[in-house]
Structure 1
Amino acid sequence: MKAIILSGGKGTRLRPLTYTGAKQLVPVANKPILWYGIESIVSAGITDIGIIISPETGEEVKAKTGNGDRFGARIEYILQEQPAGLAHAVRIAQPFLGDSPFVMYLGDNLVQSDLDLFLEHFHANSLDALTLLCPVANPSAFGVAKVDDNGRLLQLVEKPKDPPSNLALVGVYIFNNTIHKAIDAIQPSARGELEITDAIQTLIDWQSPVEARQIRGWWLDTGKKDDLLEANRVILDSCIDCQIHGEVDDQSRIIGRVHVGEGTKIVNCTIRGPVTIGDHCHLENCFIGPYTSIADRVTLIEADLEHSVILQGAKVDRVHHRIVDSLIGQRAYLTEAPRRPKALRFMIGDDCQIELSN
């Protein structure tokens, strides 16, 4: 069994951050989104992984993620020159996949369910395809599946005005090698892409054994700022333990589950978890509220923030009002003039410098 993870795309919904970096490398709870997918695949026993990359961000993905040793896997990178669709990604990965069955995992998704039970069901029932589904409140915004009472997949509809169900396609698929024939049989969609939903629908039309199963737990699509902040909240709620590796002075208060990295110095701060703080940070005279992730080498001086993600090397210096629901990019510098407004909300790209005044 092999796996491919899609880590291309332009990440337009996370700009300006993704003008300068891959959306799959934006951290959630101080870990790149892409790595959660790799870890999920490896925990299911699959260690031969191909990562589909784009010309724009591929080198960054390769440099950050490496050859797979840190995950106990072997990673091969596969260049997709143009964003020509998910089925096109499978097509260009065919030399890597060979005749092997495989998992296809969208690299900007976070899924709580373990893959093991789905893989067992796929093999035990000799399926050609198994799609994972999750109930959603707004199915018209997703690809939606129609299934019968036995879990057999009857139809896939992309962003329907009148959804046949509330079951959205999660972005994790398991295929046998017959999917390659189905991809060869389809044509590009109206947007000029080879759609994986069209290939699966072709298998359904051929009466191939295709099923769908609902995941247990949450599914998070991290394509937009608010989605990413929600993912950060959920991961911090479920995964963070209290570990203090840095230096916390006697005037500081640590409340709840807070992780403080190596070489980090906390001076006269109140930190209320769940919060994760990376390595070699400096926090002084700050209040850090719940559901905040602070990456490595961040400096916060006289800052009050909550429910935010601060990326590597950023600096917030004497912003004397509360910052909430914010995503601040790498090496961004945020400061404030003497007069200040009541509330601040930001999405700030890498290498920015901002001074606030009335």
Structure 2
Amino acid sequence: MKALVLSGGAGTRLRPITHTSAKQLVPVANKPVLFYGLESIAAAGIREVGIIVGDTAAEIRGAVGDGARFGLAVTYLPQPAPLGLAHAVLIAREFLGDDDFVMYLGDNFVVGGITELVDGFRAERPAARILLTKVPDPSAFGVAELDPEGRVARLEEKPACPRSDLALVGVYLFTPAVHEAVRAIRPSARGELEITDALQWLIDQRRTVASTIVSGYWKDTGNVADMLEVNRSVLELLTPGNEGTVDRDTEIIGRVRIGPGAVVRGSRLVGPVIIGADTVVENSYIGPSTSIAENCRITGSEIEYSIVLSGSSLLGVGRVEASLIGRSVEITPAPPIPAAHRLVLGDHSKVQISS
């Protein structure tokens, strides 16, 4: 069995972060989202992985390399434009051969991994298996409709009027039957080859498309709110530890991990919190669900429920919450503005101004 990992796409919902960084490499608990997916694939016993890459190919290659650090053998498959998930399967045909495979969206996050799912698929081998989860706004996803027996009856991509609240999670399992399906479909109204159309083709051909309702935790990390929530979820499982230097005037509460070379002075850290290597925290408060990457500087500031990427600094600012701060960002107090009133008054006006 092989894996096909999708790591193209522009990441428009995470701009401006993704103007200079691939969305799959934005870190959660100081580790790129993509790495969690690759680790799950390796844990499931899969060794050959094809990674679909686009405009950020060089950055993805630089981060993942040949895959050996994950116990994987990685092949990079360029996609000239983001033309749909089914198009990714189409261009990966030679790499996939006649093997079963799991398709994993590189910016998705599944707590607990995919080992049980892969083992079940190997044993049963339906034409395809999809993961489903209930969402409050299914119109933003591919949506599945189940028949009274719980079998997949109909699939639709981003429907205006969803027939159910079951959205497709970004992990799919396929036998080689899907290759005929992706060749048979045509581009949708938005110009993409939709994987939901390929799955529907399999259903129409009376091939078995099985489904699993996700009972654990899943997130598409395509926007800031979801990134912060995934970061919170991962930090809840954090193993505390200190490889840096913490002075006696610092208070540490809960699960806090401090990386090598980091220095914390006169501060209060309330976990779960992770502090990256060579970061300096002085006279500051770092609150729960916060990840501070390497080589950062936090001085005289407060920050909570946030992600700070490498090389950034918060110097003498007030409280910062629910924020995603990119690389090499500098945040400082604004200069004082003289208090003044600017008036345009008509004749015989009366104005009262508080001192």
TM-score by length of 2: 0.92
Is the 2:245–2:262 Cα contact (8 Å) retained in structure 1? Answer: yes
Give the greater-gyration-radius structure (CA): 2
Secondary structure of 1:145's partner? strand
Q: CA deviation at 1:116?
A: 2.5
Partner of 1:152: 151
Query: For the residues of structure 2 that align with 1:328 and 1:299, how far apart are their CA atoms?
Result: 13
Moved more, 9-18 or 61-70: 61-70
Equivalent residue for 1:351? Answer: none
**Aligned Cα root-mean-square deviation (Å):** 1.3
Report what 2:333 is aligned to.
Answer: 336
TM-superposed deviation, 1:125? 2.4
Letter in 2 for 1:233: R
Query: Percent of aligned positions with the same letter in both sequences?
Result: 50
- The correspondence for 2:321, drawn from 315, 319, 324, is 324
CA distance in 2, matches of 1:123, 1:57: 33
What is the aligned partner in structure 2 of residue 121 from structure 1? 120
- Residue of structure 2 equivalent to 1:347: none
Shift of 1:339: 4.4
TM-superposed deviation, 1:150: 4.3
Question: Does the aligned pair in 2 maintain the 1:129–1:175 contact within 8 Å?
Answer: yes
| Partner Cα separation in structure 2 for residue 147 and residue 241 of structure 1 | 40
User: Residue 229 of structure 1 aligns with which residue?
Assistant: 228
Q: Is the 8 A contact 2:40 2:115 kept in 1?
A: no
Secondary structure at the counterpart of residue 336 of structure 1: coil
**Structure 1 residue 179 corresponds to structure 2 residue 178:** yes
Quote the offset at 1:212 in angstroms. 0.8
Q: How far 1:51 sits from its partner (Å)?
A: 0.8
Which amino acid in 2 is paired with 1:223?
Answer: G
User: Is 1:9 equivalent to 2:19 in the alignment?
Assistant: no
**In structure 2, C-alpha distance between the alignment counterparts of 1:339 and 1:176, rounded to whole Å:** 65
Q: Structure 1: how far apart are the matches of 2:19 and 2:50?
A: 24
Q: Contact 1:131/1:211 (CA < 8 Å) preserved in 2?
A: yes
2:31 corresponds in structure 1 to: 31
- Provide the C-alpha distance between the structure 2 equivalents of 1:134 and 1:57, rounded to a whole number of angstroms: 29
- Residues 157-182 of structure 1: CA distance to partner in whole angstroms, max 9, x if unpaired? 22233322221100100000110110
Q: Is 1:60 aligned to residue 69 of structure 2?
A: no
Q: Could you say which residue in structure 2 is the equivalent of 1:94?
A: 93
Residue 49 of structure 1: aligned partner = 49
Distance (whole Å) between structure 2 residues aligned to residue 160 and residue 265 of structure 1: 51
Structure 2 residue identity aligned to 1:128: A
- Residue 241 of structure 1: aligned partner: 239
Q: Secondary structure at the match of 1:184?
A: helix
Residue by residue, what CA displacement relative to the aligned partner does 1:308-330 show, whole Å, maximum 9, x if unpaired? Answer: 100011111111x1000111100
Contact 1:113 1:215 in 2 (8 A): no
Letter in 1 for 2:8: G
Equivalent position of 1:344 in the other structure: none
Q: Match for 1:333: what amino acid?
A: E
Query: Equivalent of 2:312, from 314, 317, 329?
Result: 314
Question: How does the TM-score come out when normalised to structure 1?
Answer: 0.91
Taking the aligned partners of 1:213 and 1:207, their CA distance within structure 2 comes to 19
Count, aligned residues: 337
2:104 aligned with 1:105: yes
